[in-house]
Structure 1
């Protein structure tokens, strides 16, 4: 916990909280002694003036205690909340810089839990640390010393009460701590099942798996609930046990203190003060026990957060990035590239080699699992190659600054992702400085103008994930967003799959005619022959290997795999594709 708090919490705020907590404890420790003085020297002797004087001192100490407590709480709250804010920001910033390999190591549901629930646990314990963790040991030592000064004869009661208290609390915490540690894992599971149910609700309904998913969620929910009931039931025993021990301590103090008073070896005021100090001693142990109950869960949360913060992406900016030439020729090249996923036995791509320049379109086609998406993911350097080089504008992507590289590549992924806001907001993801004319031009090329106007124009609302649009509309908006970006390489990863043949053909015709696109490289991943037929270069992939490279006519005449794809898509008599 100290490791993740370092640098994310103000040292001055912490020192201030400690300082005012010490003042509060000192003020509280003086009150029982003043009460003892009033009883012994004021009430017993009928000295009204003394009672008033000491009474005003008690009021002053009480006000000092309240004021110090208020400042301590404010500083502790500010420090803990600031720590939580910084942790969430750091986790989010870290995750945004993850490569795809790091995302594969930590589940999305677990990342959400770590950013929310785990951070809250750290905040709560930080607040407790700046309050009770400081107060308890100071009060424990101070109250024990002052109690001994008031009556050494009764101090043996602590020798009995404290070990009994420690034993009971230790037993309770020993049972509760493993359950506290399990809470976060069970929270992860609950979030995972709930998130899958929400995102896959249409599939669940289509396959009539409602009952199965409800039972699955119920099982995770029941597991979490039972664990929570167990741990809270166990912790709940701490309070009656504490009450029993404190009540027994009070009885012992009154019983044996009364005998000392009757033998005139102890004053009444001293017994009252001793009783108060005894309660402060036992309350200090209780506060420490409460902290010990929350610390394991917070420690587990800190470990989980540190796991995310310590993950280092192996895809980083080079120490000395290659200089970017403003007028560099737009080009894309794969030079005998091999790629292997982490811990995979076989390569996902083997000896991929091609070269295209500005104004050219390269299309990638192949069966499911042939490596098409893997190939295009190497262009913006979502992964690093095992062998060979990938070059954008004649510069190895590993020698380019990632921010600049991503600025040179506009990518439309397989799954169109839109964000909550307006159509304008989503399109400007590609270029924040784009004018409305630029946006409408991109929409026109993407065959989206008509339905955008029907929805209300650029300021039409977009729900989370673009759920208020059809699959084809989302794809076209995602394409328009990429076109708004003035890039060197445009990558369309199976982005036309939800479009009908007419819209597909019209969109590709607009792409070829656009002046900006003519100055860039276009990469199209597709399943349909009709989509790739007019490309300048077609790459045919099969099991991660480049088994064909050429134009449509060349591949149709000479490549067996390409011919098989054609036969699977074209009816007899349509083999001659125009």
Structure 2
């Protein structure tokens, strides 16, 4: 945990907070001595003036202590919040630049828990450390010294009370710490089940599985509740034990102190002060115990956060980078040179010896059965994964010699699942190109065939988009996603099965608009599709099967001599899906 927070702390603020904490502790330690003097000198001698004077002095010192406490709490709280803010920022930045492999390694639910609940655990413990952990040893040492100074003989009581308290606290920590660590994993489980239930609510309802999902969440929730009840029940024993030890300590002090007073070797005021210092000593020990109970939970959270921050991306920029080739798309070329790729731990290559060439103005279509490697192949172009052997060249430059930023500037990607953000149509389109004008946006929307539900006469670009585009149909969301891709100025446009929700006419009109648009003719268009009708007019069709490109050419060439392509045609003719 120290490794995580030390570079994110403002040390001058910690120093100021600690200084005022010392002021608070010194004020608290001064009050029992003044109380002792009031009893011994003022009350015993009936000196009213001395009592009033000492009372004003106590009020002033108490006020100074309040100021010290307020300032310390302010700095402790603000530092905890600022450190939490920096950790969340670093986590979000790290996750934003993770490759798909690292992202899938942790999972959505766990990353959300690490960014929220785990950070909160660290913030809470930081406040405790900057308050209690710093206060407790200072008060423990100071109160111990002053108690000994008041009556050395009575300090023997602590030789019994402190070891007893330490034994009980140790037993509680032994059982509580492992349970605190397991709570974080159980929160992961709750987030996973809850998130799946929310994102898949339509599927749940369609299959009438509401009861199943409720039971699944109830199991995860009950498991967390059961562990939480157990651990906090164990911790709750600390307070009655503390009360018991404090009461026993007071009884011992009063018993032995009364004998000293009766023997006239101790004043009454000193006994009152000693009892107060004894409570401060025990409370200090209690505060330290509480901190050490909760630190392991925060340490577990810090380890989970450090695991994310320390993860090395499998996709990184090379050492000898080549500058991007700029915005001149007339030279656009894309080459796959005997490219192979396999997922981590996989026995068989997902892509095996892919080799093809495309130039500006070409439309490349990729077709094949489910699991044939179509999406994996195009994911290699923006380096969502890195190739195992071979290389991919854009404009003659190996993409691994381009920075990821420059490479992503040259590639526009529409993925299988249409993702829209809450806001307006304009805001969603500007996500593809912040500098796009309204004319650029309307051009992209027209190519994407959005005229039936977005027009300049209505709300137009100010049409509101609900979260995840829930106020649009599947086909409408796909077209808006395509339009967002077209707004971007790129050399390679990739459409990963993003025409699947379109009817045949809209599909044909969209592809014709892409082909006829002067700007698109300067770029390479790659379309992944399942339907022959979608790929038939492409300049180059890649037929994939089992991760291999088993055929490439135009529609007529493949129809004549490629068995796999003919099988796809035959299967779609039977279904009435042929062009």
Q: Normalized against structure 1, the TM-score is what? A: 0.98
Corresponding residue number in structure 2 for 1:114: 114
1:1-150 aligned within 5 A:
1-150=1-150
Deviation string 1:2-46 (CA, Å, 9 cap, x unpaired) is 111022121111111111111111111111111111111111112
The Cα shift of 1:495 comes to 0.6
Corresponding residue number in structure 1 for 2:463: 460
Q: Does 1:501 align with 2:504?
A: yes
Q: What stretches of structure 1 of length at least 5 have no aligned partner?
A: none
SS of corresponding position for 1:75: helix
Contact 1:242 1:286 in 2 (8 A): yes
Contact 2:333 2:360 in 1 (8 A): yes
Q: Does 1:420 align with 2:427?
A: no
Corresponding residue number in structure 2 for 1:251: 251
Further displaced range: 41-50 or 224-233: 41-50
The Cα shift of 1:573 comes to 10
Corresponding residue number in structure 2 for 1:302: 302
Corresponding residue number in structure 1 for 2:207: 207
Corresponding residue number in structure 2 for 1:216: 216
Give me the whole-angstrom Cα distance separating, in 2, the residues matched to 1:179 and 1:571.
60
Further displaced range: 86-95 or 420-429: 420-429
Q: Does 1:399 align with 2:401?
A: yes
The Cα shift of 1:572 comes to 9.5
Give me the whole-angstrom Cα distance separating, in 1, the residues matched to 2:393 and 2:191.
41
Corresponding residue number in structure 2 for 1:362: 364
Deviation string 1:87-130 (CA, Å, 9 cap, x unpaired) is 00000000001001101210110000000000000000001100
The Cα shift of 1:239 comes to 0.9
Contact 1:24 1:66 in 2 (8 A): yes
The Cα shift of 1:270 comes to 0.4
Q: 2:436 aligns with which of 415, 434, 451?
A: 434
Contact 2:336 2:356 in 1 (8 A): yes
Contact 1:440 1:449 in 2 (8 A): no
Deviation string 1:491-521 (CA, Å, 9 cap, x unpaired) is 0000100000000000000000101100000
Corresponding residue number in structure 1 for 2:287: 287
The Cα shift of 1:344 comes to 1.2
Give me the whole-angstrom Cα distance separating, in 2, the residues matched to 1:183 and 1:541.
46
Q: Normalized against structure 2, the TM-score is what? A: 0.98
Q: Does 1:174 align with 2:177?
A: no
Q: 1:528 aligns with which of 526, 531, 534?
A: 531
Corresponding residue number in structure 1 for 2:352: 350
Deviation string 1:258-298 (CA, Å, 9 cap, x unpaired) is 11111101000100000000000000111111111211110
Deviation string 1:364-400 (CA, Å, 9 cap, x unpaired) is 0000000000000001011000001111222111000
Corresponding residue number in structure 1 for 2:343: 341
Give me the whole-angstrom Cα distance separating, in 2, the residues matched to 1:456 and 1:343.
51
The Cα shift of 1:48 comes to 2.3
Residues 546, 241 of structure 1: CA spacing in aligned structure 2 closer, same or farther, 3 A cutoff?
same
SS of corresponding position for 2:358: strand
The Cα shift of 1:486 comes to 0.7
The Cα shift of 1:55 comes to 2.2
Give me the whole-angstrom Cα distance separating, in 2, the residues matched to 1:386 and 1:574.
37
Residues 110, 67 of structure 1: CA spacing in aligned structure 2 closer, same or farther, 3 A cutoff?
same
Give me the whole-angstrom Cα distance separating, in 2, the residues matched to 1:547 and 1:315.
28
Give me the whole-angstrom Cα distance separating, in 1, the residues matched to 2:312 and 2:22.
41
Q: 2:546 aligns with which of 543, 546, 562?
A: 543
Give me the whole-angstrom Cα distance separating, in 1, the residues matched to 2:574 and 2:300.
61
Q: Does 1:482 align with 2:501?
A: no
The Cα shift of 1:324 comes to 2.5
Further displaced range: 13-22 or 317-326: 317-326
Corresponding residue number in structure 2 for 1:566: 569
1:233-272 aligned within 5 A:
233-272=233-272
Contact 2:324 2:407 in 1 (8 A): no
Corresponding residue number in structure 1 for 2:165: 165
Give me the whole-angstrom Cα distance separating, in 2, the residues matched to 1:573 and 1:433.
44
Corresponding residue number in structure 1 for 2:448: 446
SS of corresponding position for 1:451: coil
The Cα shift of 1:146 comes to 0.8
Contact 2:531 2:577 in 1 (8 A): no
Give me the whole-angstrom Cα distance separating, in 2, the residues matched to 1:50 and 1:247.
32
Give me the whole-angstrom Cα distance separating, in 2, the residues matched to 1:573 and 1:533.
16
SS of corresponding position for 2:432: coil
Give me the whole-angstrom Cα distance separating, in 2, the residues matched to 1:197 and 1:57.
63
Tell me the number of residue pairs that the alignment of Structure 1 and Structure 2 aligns. 576
The Cα shift of 1:456 comes to 2.8
The Cα shift of 1:51 comes to 2.1
Further displaced range: 254-263 or 120-129: 254-263
